[in-house]
Structure 1
């Protein structure tokens, strides 16, 4: 039912913190969502190319997950259990073992951390330092790993780091990600030189951490060769390898883990966002068994392990990852996305494609242009956001389950929006 949104918008402006962000781009009050679409209080339906910033890889309100969760709640299933043993936790772990770890020949302990990705990153940092007895961690330019103080120290973005309010963001060395100096510079050689040189000022690292595809950093996608190179250098220097697969994981790039094609075996892998399958808060850290040296409660949190998320997360694993069907479908849609974005890049002067799989976008050269395209797209019925150091990338994070027809419709809206902004920019220049 359509309602007057003015009162609700007013309460947000009056009472919600200035820290709010995404809502500033979408001036409506959303009331319901299904699949790849969201509906506002004005009854207008929008195609969702944001998907909870990759927290809704399986779409809004997947019917099988919803049915399982409703049944669990109706039967007085556990809602909150700290880290006690529960039936639903056992079922989730078994499903993760059967559908993710065993088919890939992987052996990891699963550590339930606090409910967001930054909690998993904090745990990884602490454990790497505990295992190695070292403090320095090597992170990479344009990386984003979270907003708590430890994870923020790994993050490169000046605006995000400014939120620390002058607090210490130390014990991290930032190195150039692949392509940071242009295509002609070998950043692996640079990294190796800095670590091999005893006078470089870089302390022996406890760990290296990187995202296979940098989500907030502008969809910079690491090549298999580069990921293998970092893994090799980490091993050479006695450091652990942490892969942050929070935004790029759970199928987003076409395989469950975004690093699978590189053939590397990280010491730790962070998981969150779509791990619950349903948009529920849930994060975990995968740890090689030999590194799981925590003492009981040495790293904990009241909300580690969300029982409702165990229910929906298990259903997601059993429904989408029991065979290769879903993965193949994602790769098919990725090709459609690439073609659609290429058409947009061709009408925006100097634009170029970035990313991989269903985590792609168009670098349009500046934040003003990208923001204008996203704003125009929203007017036309598409929810989409920007990323990159200067918000210069129009980033598509549509649900992986989006129907092909809806995906094409959303891409056509985006193309129209890009065309409108390009024409306006040209007229203004004249």
Structure 2
């Protein structure tokens, strides 16, 4: 693809140096539909990034777009804080019918603010309030958000350093397979809990991702997750599952923890819950944990009514018959096969291939190579990002609605990018 150098002067002159994704994709995007994005010069890009997982149903999904336009055209409420609105009622009723009841979950629903880190902050605050303890246990290579509480349970040193102050009341433990299977699961963790001289304050909760997306597509085994849930019960700690990126069907089932057969005390959901890329987040928790006083945790934009509209439309369109889960798992097998073929072609360069559903990662032995592959893929018309503590993993996060043909096209581009950066 021949790309004319775009005019990026206004972004470079006026926008903060903190911008990141635009540096890897130096063009000006203009429109998008389904799994394709188009820049202002008419170039087409196949999107295997999907808004960092916020666009599970693709760009401008026509079903969701129609519901949103109809709502706006009738002057539906757009801003309502936590007031009762018809849009919120429709979402809650749909969420209860299509998600909670079929899974026998009786969790209460809280709208903590518009983003995933808002959901995490609410979860941590609630756990501490319920248990009357300050400490939270997280895991190596975890990522839970960029606000101070969420950073305190995030592993990445670069992101933690941005806080500018000590990040306290969080203790990391080894994630599944962090020690290459050489140590019994939770041996260290439970020993610290049992030893009054360990220096570990008894935690209020443990927060975990079933698949660490930003951490490098590290997939927890179902046995490990079950053992963690049992440990939390045994030691009187709440279990928080951060399903912000891996929820809403990304791994197959609506919630990523369903395969393990566990029921978290608190669940955080965001990114694709609105389905349309509109800001929306949920903190779900068992009814007995609902000890909030009115207004004790709030936010101006916690009631995004247009997001409620598209969220309800997405649930009704994709989560009533079980077909989305089956399709995602089938597409995931297609991705896995292609990545393993690439790994077989480059056995000394690809360290590992791992993932679940439609989130996959390919780790490179030469860590700098992953960014080079992503850059070449962009030049060839494919949007992918990297993840891991040293950006050593090529990360694939296509829309759940991607077609088999689009997957083949993107995976072929990826294979070419790997060859051409050798």
TM-score (norm. length: structure 2): 0.97
Unaligned stretches of 5+ residues in structure 2: none
Shift of 1:344: 1.7
Corresponding residue for 1:109? 108
Secondary structure (helix, strand or coil) at the match of 2:279 reads coil
Task: Kindly indicate whether the alpha-carbon contact (under 8 Å) linking 2:136 and 2:169 is maintained by their aligned counterparts in 1.
Answer: yes
- 1:5 and 1:371 map into 2 onto residues whose CA distance is 20
Number of aligned residue pairs: 418
Write the distance in 2 (CA, Å) between the matches of 1:317 and 1:5.
41
| Residues 276, 309 of structure 1: 8 Å contact kept | yes
2:312 corresponds to which of 311, 314, 321? 314
| 1:251-286 residue CA offsets vs partner (Å, 9 max, x unmatched) | 000111111011111110000000000000000100
Q: How far apart are residue 42 of structure 1 and its match?
A: 1.5
Provide the residue aligned with 1:152 in structure 2. Answer: 151
Partner of 2:219: 221
How much has 1:230 moved relative to structure 2? Answer: 1.0
* Secondary structure of the structure 1 residue equivalent to 2:204: strand
Secondary structure of the residue aligned to 1:351 is strand
Residue 24 of structure 1 is matched in structure 2 by 23
* Deviations 1:76-122 (CA, angstroms, capped at 9, x unpaired): 00000010000010000011001001111111100001100000000
Partner of 1:72: 71
Tell me if the contact between 2:250 and 2:358 (Cα under 8 Å) persists in the aligned partners. yes
Q: Is the 8 A contact 1:367 1:390 kept in 2?
A: yes
Aligned counterparts of 2:402 and 2:387: Cα–Cα separation in 1? 21
Higher mean Cα deviation, 267-276 or 190-199? 190-199
**Cα drift, residue 305 of structure 1:** 2.1
Contact 1:177 1:187 in 2 (8 A): no
CA distance in 2, matches of 1:61, 1:27: 22
* Cα distance in 1 between the residues matched to 2:77 and 2:4: 38
CA contact (8 A) 2:6 2:26 kept: no
The 8 Å contact of residues 345 and 364 in structure 1, kept in 2 or not, is answered as no
Per the normalisation by structure 1, the TM-score is 0.96
CA RMSD of aligned residues (A): 1.2
Distance in 2 (CA, whole Å) between partners of 1:261 and 1:189 is: 24
Residues 121 and 145 in structure 1, CA contact (< 8 A), matched pair in contact too: yes
The 4+ residue runs of structure 1 with deviation greater than 2 A are 3-7, 183-187
Cα distance per residue 1:53-83 (max 9 Å; x no partner):
0000110000011011001001000000010
Distance 1:239 1:88 in 2: 35
> SS state of the match for residue 411, structure 2?
helix
Q: Please say if 1:359 is aligned against 2:354.
A: no
Aligned partner (choices 204, 226, 245) of residue 206 of structure 1: 204
Q: How far apart in 2 are the matches of 1:100 and 1:159?
A: 36
Aligned to 1:425: none
How far 1:234 sits from its partner (Å)? 1.0
The answer as to whether partners of 1:224 and 1:262 remain within 8 angstroms in 2 is yes
Aligned residue for 2:163, secondary structure, equals coil
SS at match of 1:32: strand
5+ residue gaps, structure 1: 423-430
Aligned to 1:251: 249
| 1:269 counterpart residue number | 267
Match of 2:38?
A: 39
